[in-house]
Amino acid sequence: MSINLENHPLLPFLPPHSKLLLLGSFPPSRKRWSMDFFYPNLQNDMWRLFGLVFFNDSMHFLSQETGGFDQKKIEVFLNQKGIALYDTAVQVVRGKGTASDQFLEVIQATDVFGLLEQIPSCTAIATTGEKATMVLCGQTGAAKPEIGKSTTFWHAQKEYSIFRLPSSSRAYPKPLKEKAIYYAKMFRHLGLL
């Protein structure tokens, strides 16, 4: 039986002045992408959450011309705010060929400490799901926070916060507005909102 290893298809998005590193688990299969960027699946609500929280408009980051997400608009916004993006895995095996974290086996975790060294202004990491939280906490030794809460860890004589957010996947059973409350609370705490 052959194992289909998948390597991460994107480079980390790391504005040098980033205060926050947002980590998911791993991108969906390319056939589900509407753009060549993070959270590309139109069925994922990450950019609707950002639109709702920052602009009170869940459609803010959708392109009227293409019907997909507006990658340029998203990148400009993230650069302005100082929000970095990547995932907690660089190599995985999909157990069922879906984007579900439940069937995702992490073969190689991301070197999170290496990412943090590239964004020295960063003091916080947020995870967007159970798998990402488990992988990050396993790497940092931090206690696993409950959804909407945070814990801390130290690295290179610096303290970092880990915020656990609800998954932006529609499979996670909470309405968009309810998820947005958690995101807004964290962004306010970090002075980004």
Instruction: Give me the number of domains the chain comprises.
Output: 1
Neighbours of 105 (CB within 10 A): 13
> Is the entire prediction scored with pTM above 0.85?
yes
SS3 label, residue 34: coil
Quote the pLDDT of residue 31.
Answer: 86
* Structure confidence by residue, pLDDT tens digits, 126-159: 999 889 999 999 999 999 999 999 999 999 999 9
Domain residues for the domain of 106 are 5-189
Q: How far separated are the first and last CA of the chain, in Å rounded?
A: 50
Q: Give the pairing of strands 83-87 and 20-24.
A: parallel
Query: Residue type for 7, please?
Result: N
CATH number of 21's domain: 3.40.470.10
pLDDT band, residue 80 (cuts 50/70/90): very high
As given in the structure block, the two tokens for residue 50 are: 């950002």
**Neighbouring residues of 73: CB distance < 8 A, sequence distance ≥ 6:** 61, 63
75 or 104: which carries more pLDDT confidence? 75
Q: What is the distance between the alpha carbons of residues 114 and 12, in angstroms, rounded to a whole number? A: 11
